[in-house]
Amino acid sequence: MRRNVLARRGHFWTMKKRLANCRTNLRVGGNKMFSLKDKVAIITGAGQGIGRAIALALASQGAHIVIADINAKSAGSVIDEIRALGNQAIVVEGNVTNEADVQKMVADTIAQFGKIDILVNNAGTVLTGPLTEIALGDWDKVMAINVKGVFLTCKSVIPYMIERRYGKIVNIASVAGKIGGGLMGNSCYATSKGSVIALTKAIAKEMGPYNINCNAICPAFTDTPMTVNFPKDKREAIIRAIPLGRAGKPDDIASAACFLASDGAAFITGEIMDVNGGLVLD
C-alpha cells in the first residue's frame, strides 16, 4: 500500500511539473514556442495597413524586420516605430512584380542579417467591377501584384530556407478567393486571391520535407487605407453579414500572422486560416 501511495505521489509531482512547463511554454514572448526573438522577417507591402500591423506585431515578439515596399516614405515611418521597440529594421524599396527588385530585397536581407526565417507576402491591390467591364491591362496588373509577386518572392526566398531547413511563409489571401468575390463584383480580385490559396497549398506540399511551413490568411472586409473609399452603403451591407458585427482591424490579421510565423504553428502547413468575424465558416 505504501508503495502505491508513493507511486501516486510521484505521478502527482510529475504531472504538476509537466503542467508548470506547459504554462511556461504557452506564455507568449516568454518561451520559444511563440517567441520570435532574433528571427528575421520580410514583410512585403508593410508601409501601411495590414502589412504595417504585421511588421509591428512580429517586432513586438522579438523579430528583426525587413520592410519591402514600393513606397519608401511610408515604409520609413514604420521603421522608426520598430526601432523604438529595440529591434533592427531596414527598408528595401521595390516592386514585387519585378524579379530584379525581389532579388535585391533578398540580397539586402542576407547582407544585413545573414538569414531569412519568415516571409509574409502581404503586398496586394484590389479591383472591383463587373467582369465585362474589366480592361485587360487592369486584370494583368492585379494578377501581377497579387499572384506573380507572391511567386517571385517565394522563388527567391525559399532557397535560403531550404539551406537552413527552416522557414515560415505566410501569404495574405482573402475570403474573396474562397467565395468568388463580394457585393461590388470583383471577379479579378477573387481570382487572384484564389490563386494565392492554391499556390500556398502547392508550396506547403513541395517544401514540407525541408521543414518549411506555408500557410495563408483569409481576411474579410478590413479597415485599411485600401478600403477607406469603399462606398458607405456597401460597407454597411458587408458588416451586417458578419456575425461579429464589425469590420476587421489590421491587428486581427497581425495576430494570426504572428502565430503562423511562430514555432507554435510548427505542425501546421497548407492551412487557409479564416480571420473574417464568421463571415465564412468552413
Per-residue pLDDT tens digits for 201-235: 999 999 999 999 999 999 998 988 878 777 888 88
Is 210 part of the annotated catalytic residue set?
no
What does the pLDDT read at residue 127? Answer: 87
d(CA 57, CA 41): 11
Q: Is 5 within the bounds of a domain?
A: no
Residues 209-225 as b or e (16 or more Cβ within 10 Å = b)? eeebbbbbbbbbbbbbe
Give yes or no for residue 183 having a pLDDT over 90: no
Domain encompassing residue 98: 35-275
Q: Is 250 within the bounds of a domain?
A: yes
Residues 247-256 as b or e (16 or more Cβ within 10 Å = b)? bbebebbbeb
Give yes or no for a contact between 145 and 96, defined as CB atoms under 8 angstroms apart.
yes
What does the pLDDT read at residue 230? Answer: 78
Q: Is 213 within the bounds of a domain?
A: yes
Q: Is 201 within the bounds of a domain?
A: yes
pLDDT digits (tens, 9 = 90+) for 34-44: 999 999 999 99
- Give the SS3 label for residue 227: coil
Q: What number is the average pLDDT over the span 243-247? A: 94
pLDDT digits (tens, 9 = 90+) for 77-97: 899 999 999 999 999 999 999
- Count of domains for the chain: 1
Strand-pair partners of 84: none
179 or 186, which is more confident?
Answer: 179
Q: Is 27 within the bounds of a domain?
A: no
pLDDT digits (tens, 9 = 90+) for 108-152: 999 999 999 999 999 999 888 889 999 999 999 999 999 999 999
Q: Is 54 within the bounds of a domain?
A: yes
Name the grid cell of 246.
464589425
Strand-pair partners of 172: 217
Q: Is 214 within the bounds of a domain?
A: yes
Give yes or no for residue 26 having a pLDDT over 80: no
Give yes or no for a contact between 28 and 34, defined as CB atoms under 8 angstroms apart.
yes
Give yes or no for a contact between 35 and 29, defined as CB atoms under 8 angstroms apart.
yes
- Length of the chain (residues): 282
The set of residues, in sequence order, having a beta carbon less than 8 Å from that of 187 and lying 6+ positions away, is 131, 134, 180, 181
> Rounded to two decimals, what is the model's pTM?
0.87
- Lowest-pLDDT range of 34-48, 64-78, 154-168, 255-269: 64-78
- Give the SS3 label for residue 247: coil
Q: CATH number for the domain including 254?
A: 3.40.50.720
Give yes or no for residue 27 having a pLDDT over 50: no
Which of these is catalytic: 160, 166, 189, 210?
189
What does the pLDDT read at residue 272? Answer: 98
